[in-house]
Structure 1
Amino acid sequence: MLSPHGGVLQDLLVRDAPIKSELLAEAASLTSIGLTDRQLCDLELILVGGFSPLTGFLNEADYTSVVHKMRLASGEIWTIPITLDVSKDVASGLESGQRIVLRDPRDDLALAILTIDDIYTPNKEVEAKEVFRGDPEHPAIRYLLDTAGDVYIGGSLQAISAPKHYDYTGLRKTPAQLRSEFGNKHWEKVVAFQTRNPMHRAHRELTVRAARDKLANLLIHPVVGLTKPGDIDHHTRVKVYQEIIKKYPNGMAQLALLPLAMRMSGDREAVWHAIIRKNYGATHFIVGRDHAGPGSNSKGVPFYGPYDAQELVERFANELEIEVVPFRMVTYLPDESRYAPIDSIPDGTRTLNISGTELRKRLREGTHIPEWFSYPEVVQILRTAYPPRQTQGFAVYLQGLPNSGVEALGYALQATFNQFSGSRHITLLDVSRIGQESAGFVTAELVRSGAGVLVTDSEEVASEAFLKSVNTQVSKAGSFVLVSVETPRVVCEANDRKGYFKSERKDIETYQVPKEAEIRVDLDSIPINTAIQKIVLYLEEQGFFVF
């Protein structure tokens, strides 16, 4: 088994009860910082040694060296800045040498005490260019510029407790635990497999081949922290992994979960992943095509080259010590009923494959997913989590000026939909009755339960930012459809018995029809029954209703 990166596993967890009590007592009197989801993941991996040799968040010297040289100031390879970012307001009340407590905002528990080494303001544009290659559409750059705090705090940590998890606790192994288990099993060589997606038969085949080629055992080590926005939720994925692990030869493979916050930084991230797996006891690491890449930007240009990750890890191979196993894509040979590496198949051989896009389409439409592609148990898990459109929840937001007919259309649609919606319940939700602050959450939760939701607002005209917020929340649970009711303003004013247009309201005066509406109707030029038919036909075309 390889030594941890830097030579020592930096397991900071306190196991001495009196010391922990002293730290808790001190924490009660210290300034507190509540951590973000990303910071919670980073903190956990620092405390358990997954980020060895780190013992805290990077100070300015280490940060600068990592950004420009992919090394800590001490010279050890490290490719991703692990920073404690805070707002300027928070930073203004802190100073070097001060001790502060880092808390889990979910339960307010004290997790660690940080002794501040320095407080510094990074050049985020440089960080974006050097670490993520500078494309403003890169999700990590958007996070860096739009979400992360403007000031970084560097310093060493004293652990009080790791963040608490209440799911899959038996699979959440620390580096020390996995190393001990590998030793007890006499696993001298371990191939680690990184994934943030569900696994299917091809993944099982390529990992088995990697283990056999290296005469090694397998660590299936999926990320369950933060992954790419839009990825399948970790609960669904873990259920899939639990089924897949049963399909390996007895004693060959082990499943463990990694609470990592991915940055999707391609080649730099691949090196980072290799270091982390080395700390967890792996001797070999599978590096895939476009490993940890976020795909392409809006112009179709990939953020990273397909083999950039493999090349950078190989560049550091001697120092990292962990051996890279290049990902070998496998495909199904129907005439031989087996999988084989695609680069070993003679020209003209018939092959079958299902892309991720095609898989999502089949799940959405409820069409057949063949057993050669994935195990029936796995398909059932995916179908439960992602049912076909005709049983999914959805929200139809009706947007328009007061007196445009939005409310009447909402009532008419509810009556119409409930005639043929089958088991799906159709709810009419008035934003003015629950408030805009709650509307997105309530709508998303109803959609998550499988309901169809018609959303109107009898008092206010929704802003573009509000519509975007509701869309974002609902889209995580189901589908969002925006209907723009574009009855002319002069007609709306003529029917203004409540004085909406006489009150000089900003939401009305500045209103513009939404640009991104899927459906547009003018209830002055077409009868309401025609508008209903237009909306129904659109939803049928999208698969929400089957007649």
Structure 2
Amino acid sequence: MANTPHGGVLKDLHARDLSIRSELLKEADSLPDLALTERQLCDLELILSGGFSPLEGFMTEKDYNGVVNDLRLADGALFSMPINLDVSAQEIETIGIAPGKRIVLRDFRDESPLAIITVEDVYKPNKETEAVNVFRGDPEHPAVKYLYNTVKEFYVGGKVQALNRPNHYDYAGLRYTPSELRAEFNKLGWNRVVAFQTRNPMHRAHRELTVRAARSRQANVLIHPVVGLTKPGDIDHFTRVRVYQALLPRYPNGMALLSLLPLAMRMGGDREAVWHAIIRKNFGATHFIVGRDHAGPGKNSKGVDFYGPYDAQELVEKYRDELGIEVVPFQQMTYLPDADEYAPKDEVAPGVKTLDISGTELRKRLRLGLPIPEWFSYPEVVKVLRESHPPRVSQGFTIFLTGYHNSGKDAIARALTYTLNQQGGRSVSLLLGETVRSELSAELGFSRADRHKNIQRIAFVAAELTRAGAAVIAAPTAPYDDSRKLARDTVSQSGSFFLVHVATPLEYCESTDRKGIFAKARKGEITGFTGVDDPYEAPADADITVDVSTTSVRTIVHQIVLLLESQGFFGN
């Protein structure tokens, strides 16, 4: 089977621009520049390497509209995902972005110049049309959220010229460009290659299905995992790559090769499957495994899967002739304990005993340190997962107490600190509101913006400590719901977050205020004081609600400890 690139020619812009690179670098010193976001950086890398062939730059308005409406570039070539360079009105004005302008595109991480774009047009997209046509419009779809909340209001179209490759300091030896991977296949004598797309760890079932797919096509296996942006909450790529490396020796000798793909996924289901097929064709694969609910982000706002289970396979099959890559349907594998082997579920006779472990069950076993059987995953793979995902008893967490001044949250926080230190097992850090204000946020006032910034600083520190395995107890006033929600989101990326609403009534807080702070606020000597002339937005999402006017601090601390215990944070 031929493995010509999509469109017939691999658009390796690094090779194309190599002879004039020194001239381009000199020119870049005098040009305005634009720092790319993480998604833009992933997109640019694959444009430059030819992974997105036949693209030679970011889509113009004609290309964008064609892809959004008909899965076609302006010249009629099949392409299913819009690839856009989004900019703000401020950037357009400050940088002077306009048709004919040449602009340096820089890596936001180290400011290295990567490419020069010659601007062809600047246009305002119809985001609603893009959301509906490309991602089916559900507001809970992660790509739709990203489109409305993160993507800027204007798109810039134009071809790019290569200056430098992005600097990668991890797994450099596994990051093949399309040209490099094709050369590697040629060196190995591989002319039939089955590509396997993944953004998750691989276990025995994945090994079995890829081996079966390769053997049935007399081909080799390309394990081609995404290491760019994936679905929020996915396991980090460092852990996943260590899993793939541990799994590789389990393949028959010489059957499989691992290469990393710096793709920013959109979780776009059927359209994304077509996009993935185009990319794998450009990297030299002749066959591509398309899974059940391929690149689907899960459930929508109504609790139903965003995409049908076979939507992706059907759309890729529809464009099979144009894609020029053979689709291999993903087979759901199940373990047959009596035979000690895996088999496709649809080939198992009725009444035959089978065993499976769901993703939810696997996460539970990792969280609680429970056994993971060898029939499900190889010991070397489990070892990697346990190192990166220790059981709850070894994980950090954050207890975030919120409430009025003098509500008792500081007393609860201090008492909880003593209790957790007594139990041992992890370091304990106490972040009291007044302490953080004096040490971390001394320059901030008490406006809504400054209060929000203060809470995000607390959340940042708490997240870093939680990631390191500490128990963090934070006790700011945190009167605003949006600030608390963002704090939860920030910390939850590093570990567990528990919100404790210290709902002691304002009257009680004021009547027991021996320092007279409320009295000063009532007299106007202190302004912007929560509960007096600034609101407190009571949380509706608290994990525990307590009240020191009716319950002792000791009992409240015990309630929090019981919550932590029920979640597995303390040993048996």
Query: What TM-score do you get using the length of structure 2 for normalisation?
Result: 0.93
Distance 2:417 2:357 in 1: 38
Contact 2:479 2:538 in 1 (8 A): no
The amino acid across from 2:561 in the alignment is V
Q: Which residue of 2 aligns with 1:36?
A: 37
Deviations 1:85-116 (A, max 9, x none): 01122124321010011100111111100000
Q: Which residue of 2 aligns with 1:318?
A: 321
TM alignment of 1:123-138, pairs within 5 A: 123-138=126-141
Please identify, of 84-93 and 45-54, the stretch whose mean Cα deviation from structure 2 is larger. Answer: 84-93
TM alignment of 1:300-449, pairs within 5 A: 300-422=303-425, 424-430=426-432, 431-432=436-437, 433-435=439-441, 436=454, 437-449=456-468
Cα distance, 1:15 vs. partner?
8.0
Contact 2:481 2:538 in 1 (8 A): no
Deviations 1:415-463 (A, max 9, x none): 01111132x1111113323232532221111111100000112xx5342
Please identify, of 321-330 and 25-34, the stretch whose mean Cα deviation from structure 2 is larger. Answer: 25-34
Distance 2:561 2:474 in 1: 16
Query: What TM-score do you get using the length of structure 1 for normalisation?
Result: 0.97
Aligned residue among 504, 525, 528 for 1:505: 528
Cα distance, 1:18 vs. partner?
6.8
- In the alignment, does 2:510 pair up with 1:493? yes
Aligned residue among 463, 472, 478 for 1:453: 472
Cα distance, 1:20 vs. partner?
2.1
Distance 1:18 1:215 in 2: 40
The aligned length equals 544
Cα distance, 1:507 vs. partner?
4.2
Q: Which residue of 2 aligns with 1:69?
A: 70
Contact 2:194 2:288 in 1 (8 A): yes
Q: Which residue of 2 aligns with 1:27?
A: 28
The amino acid across from 2:295 in the alignment is A
Aligned residue among 475, 478, 499 for 2:495: 478
- 1:89/1:177 CA distance change after superposition, 3 Å: same
The amino acid across from 1:534 in the alignment is Q
- In the alignment, does 2:73 pair up with 1:55? no
Cα distance, 1:380 vs. partner?
1.0
Q: Which consecutive unaligned segments of at least 5 residues does structure 2 have?
A: 442-453
Aligned residue among 234, 240, 260 for 1:237: 240
The amino acid across from 2:517 in the alignment is G
- In the alignment, does 2:4 pair up with 1:3? yes
- 1:368/1:254 CA distance change after superposition, 3 Å: same
Deviations 1:369-417 (A, max 9, x none): 0000000111111111111111100000011100001111111000011
Cα distance, 1:513 vs. partner?
1.7
Distance 2:31 2:291 in 1: 45
Contact 2:139 2:301 in 1 (8 A): no
Distance 2:179 2:304 in 1: 41
Distance 1:462 1:481 in 2: 16
Which ranges of 4 or more aligned residues in structure 1 deviate by more than 3 Å? 14-18
The amino acid across from 2:330 in the alignment is F
Deviations 1:113-132 (A, max 9, x none): 00000000000000000000
- In the alignment, does 2:481 pair up with 1:464? yes
The amino acid across from 2:466 in the alignment is V
Q: Which residue of 1 aligns with 2:570?
A: 545
Distance 1:137 1:293 in 2: 12
Deviations 1:122-172 (A, max 9, x none): 000000000001111100000001110110000000010121100000000
What secondary structure does 2:198 align onto? Answer: coil
Q: Which consecutive unaligned segments of at least 5 residues does structure 1 have?
A: none
The amino acid across from 2:422 in the alignment is Q
Q: What is the alpha-carbon root mean square deviation over aligned residues?
A: 1.3
Distance 2:164 2:566 in 1: 52
Contact 1:14 1:161 in 2 (8 A): no
Distance 2:19 2:68 in 1: 39
Deviations 1:46-98 (A, max 9, x none): 00000000000000000000000101011110000000001122124321010
Distance 1:137 1:464 in 2: 20
Distance 1:325 1:247 in 2: 22
- In the alignment, does 2:249 pair up with 1:246? yes
What secondary structure does 1:13 align onto? Answer: helix
The amino acid across from 2:540 in the alignment is K
Distance 1:546 1:3 in 2: 57
- In the alignment, does 2:245 pair up with 1:227? no
Q: Which residue of 1 aligns with 2:145?
A: 142
Distance 1:340 1:324 in 2: 20
Distance 2:274 2:471 in 1: 45
Please identify, of 484-493 and 204-213, the stretch whose mean Cα deviation from structure 2 is larger. Answer: 484-493
Cα distance, 1:40 vs. partner?
0.3
What secondary structure does 1:85 align onto? Answer: strand
